[in-house]
Structure 1
């Protein structure tokens, strides 16, 4: 990469976050996920199932699909990272998994209500999700290569995450302004859906798949141009599957001898799972407890994403100044306090105070909670990515990010399961959020065994 400037490589690396973020924003959270639930439940109701049972079954199917994709990612991520490190080749893997991203997301176009298949819809979505997650592992492993100065990596990581949030917000605005029918055959911008997309066939919604695929393909160009001359870090005649797996086994055996890395993988496993629980159930909580509409929830999501973009940028600069550890701890504490505030909210009460019916305070505080979750959650993920570069072996960084992905997926069921059990036992959605606090606390406790600069620099 000698003929490509460091600045251009950094901006190319940023563009992966910009290109890939809409999979989370548009497909997982705000557009396709709700479309799947709505369409699948309608299919079940047409078959004679009661409405509430149909909605529960559709949600369960969505959860099973995400779980299946998560298991694949958890099982394969460390192995693929080890093989890539052993061969020194990362870019071919990014090309391959980018292809899965594009194929899986584009195929969501073929999920029309009239011929809807739950299996195929989940399979298409899972293929794209696996492609995104694996491509992220390999692109994240370039972070230490962007600068020899560990002190500036926090700023780079935070800026990249902020850039990605901005891309997700812009893609969402384009989708709802030009494609998504908001009622009466008009989008939220008052326009007819582009290209004559017919809401009766779900075309205005399922176009989100091809839109996300094209977005990714276009905005990955700067990344591939910036890294087209990326050097192979080890001489290799192939992908060396056997050597990669042997190296992975040795790394796993040595984990107890690297207690800082082991503790960090465990800590991040708990607090990232808690954060995902907040992201996953925030909209459901607003709908069930505060009675918000889908439009309200969409605005809530945009507020959270914008806040995340701003504070990722700010957090990255704080990270560069004082290191990732204080940022991670502060974000976990803020998320614990925010979760506690959310539990106090009902339409007629907030922070332990009874309110008059129709008081705007609960809604205002929940919007504030969304902004705080976006801010702390974004900065937490960006600094966590940087912290791993200090904990992992510099010569086995892709493998380290594979283990990071494994730790993130190994218990991805934990927050949803604990929330579901607590809600079921208490009969209260508000009480159901409390396990998230416990997961954040567990993550904070394990951070006590993490050395700020890893084993080598302790």
Structure 2
């Protein structure tokens, strides 16, 4: 499909302020994934909101499953409707309102309260966050040339990790306290007098993420150009959008490369999503990490992730998005094997025994240090694997069809997203072992990698 590459190079450039506004969307959105679904609130949900960590991990896994099914079913439909209506910003605004309200209400998820209440809010916030990403990602093809999409995608992703890390540092330094002393790492009382015994150190991350998102999403609305509004009603746009979606699905039969890319991405992204969502809860249950340890671990990973995205932003235009994604998947597969092979007193499934003595302080045992070492590999790779996948598709479609294809892209990231958390949750319940449950993630990453190796780049080229 030569038209895709040609049209991307011919479109007029966007102002630097417009591109900066688009990149700040990731800066605004990432704290939700950093402090809510990965390092702070999700581990709190699993290990402190309920007295049974195995039950908590199972409910968390099924929450992600339910949200994933909704996202998978509706993302391509909404993407196609957006192509028909034109502007993306009204859609982003609506889902931003849902996300902000859901996050703010997490403050009331106190220990001993209903798991269903917190799970419902988390599911709503997750669905709203992912739908917003569909519409924001689909504008990328209109902003810069084909060569530049990999660079701005990785820089934006790196900015997202920086934003997430800043919020995470604020939580760790100003809010999280040592259960023994009641003081933060700076030796201060927690900000606002928050009481860790009531889970307030974790619960506050909901309102903080909501406020951060509200403030920093505004530059995208003010400065980033939107598509021209189509001259049709919403009902007409919905009908046309659904018709175009059916046409796109039929069209995929002739665009085998894009179809293969979407299938490969569907499988490996499931593993990535599961690793990001469950890695922190796994560590919390295995080592008993509290908000402070989880926060410091998250800061370490985010520092490495920022560096990984910056390096990938330079390599992507030279090596191409496919090589970046392949290298990242290799790192993630190795890291996941390392993580699930590690427990108190051992790593590599017991082939490498480790001293069980605790030297005191943060991450005092050798097993915890090994876990962090594997986590560094995750940090290096989980930004580039997603950012360069985004630019992989952007190089393969034209701007006029970007909405529906990025809707399918979101579908490919969510169509089987319920399988990884559901597999982990179910195996965990059946075996009583979170470690055995986590092994399932390796299969998703490895199979997706194998399929991607046989996919053309860009994906519109003949297979």
Q: Do both share a fold (TM > 0.5)? A: yes
Map 1:160-175 to 2 at 5 A. 160-175=156-171
Counterpart in the other structure of 1:155: 151
Instruction: Select the structure with the greater relative contact order (CA < 8 A; seq sep ≥ 6).
Output: 2
Per-residue CA deviation, residues 292-337 of structure 1 (Å, 9 max, x unaligned), is: 5334443222211211111011112111112101111111122223
TM-score (norm 1): 0.87
Shift of 1:270: 1.2
The CA distance in 2 between the partners of 1:61 and 1:342, in whole Å, is: 22
Q: 1:405 to 1:195 in 2, by over 3 A?
A: same
Q: 2:399 aligns with which of 387, 394, 397?
A: 394
- Which of the residues 139, 142, 145 maps onto 1:142? 139
Aligned mates of 1:56, 1:427 — CA distance in 2: 7
CA distance in 2, matches of 1:57, 1:343: 19
- Residues 30-83 of structure 1 show CA distances to partners (whole Å, capped at 9, x for unaligned) of 2222333355425xxxxxxxxxxx433333332332222222211111111100
Among candidates 170, 173, 177, match of residue 177 of structure 1: 173
- Higher deviation after alignment, 212-221 or 200-209: 200-209
Deviations 1:1-37 (A, max 9, x none): x999521112111111111111111111222223333
Q: Report how far residue 370 of structure 1 moved.
A: 0.6
Structure 1: gaps of 5 or more residues? 43-53
Distance 1:341 1:176 in 2: 26
Alignment of 1:186-335 (within 5 A): 186-199=183-196, 201-227=198-224, 229-232=225-228, 234-238=230-234, 240-287=237-284, 291=287, 293-294=289-290, 295-335=292-332
Work out which of the residue numbers 97, 105, 108 in structure 1 matches 2:106.
108
CA deviations 1:335-372 (Å, max 9, x no partner) are 22333344554444445444555496544332221111
Tell whether the 8 Å contact from 1:16 to 1:220 is kept in structure 2 after alignment: yes
Change (3 A) 1:249 1:111: same
Task: Say if 1:347 and 1:358, in contact at 8 Å, map to a contact too.
Answer: no
Q: CA–CA distance in 2 between the matches of 1:40 and 1:363?
A: 23
The count of corresponding residues between Structure 1 and Structure 2 is 442
Runs of 5+ consecutive residues of structure 2 not aligned to the other structure: 1-10, 359-364
Which of the residues 444, 452, 455 maps onto 2:449?
A: 444
Name the CA shift for 1:68/1:345 in 2 (closer, same or farther; >3 Å).
closer
1:28 correspondence with 2:26:
no
Report the alpha carbon displacement of residue 281 of structure 1 after superposing the two structures with TM.
Answer: 3.5
- 1:92 corresponds to: 90
Contact 2:55–2:429 (8 Å) recurs in 1: no
Whether the 8 Å CA contact 2:261–2:459 is kept in 1: the answer is no
Counterpart in the other structure of 1:48: none
Q: CA 1:263 to 1:384, structure 2 compared with 1: closer, same or farther past 3 Å? A: same
Q: How far is 1:456 from its partner?
A: 5.7
Q: Any idea what the Cα deviations from partners look like across 1:115-164, whole Å, max 9, x if unmatched?
A: x33333222222222221111111111111121x2111111100000000
TM-score of the pair, normalised by structure 2 = 0.86
Moved more, 3-12 or 97-106: 3-12
What whole-Å deviation, never above 9, does each CA across 1:155-190 have from its counterpart, x for those lacking one? 110000000001001001112222334334433333
Shift in alpha-carbon separation, 1:230–1:346, aligned structure 2, 3 A: closer
SS of 1:64 mapped into structure 2: helix
What secondary structure is seen at the aligned counterpart in 1 of 2:106? helix
- How big is the alpha-carbon RMSD for the aligned residues of Structure 1 and Structure 2? 2.8
Give how far 1:241 is off: 0.9
Output the CA distance in 1 between the equivalents of 2:417 and 2:170.
31
Match of 2:55 among 47, 52, 57: 57
Cα deviation 1:391-448 (Å, max 9, x = unaligned): 3343121111111111211211222344456667888655554433322221122224
Contact 1:343-1:434 within 8 A present in 2 as well? yes
Distance 1:71 1:354, change over 3 A: closer
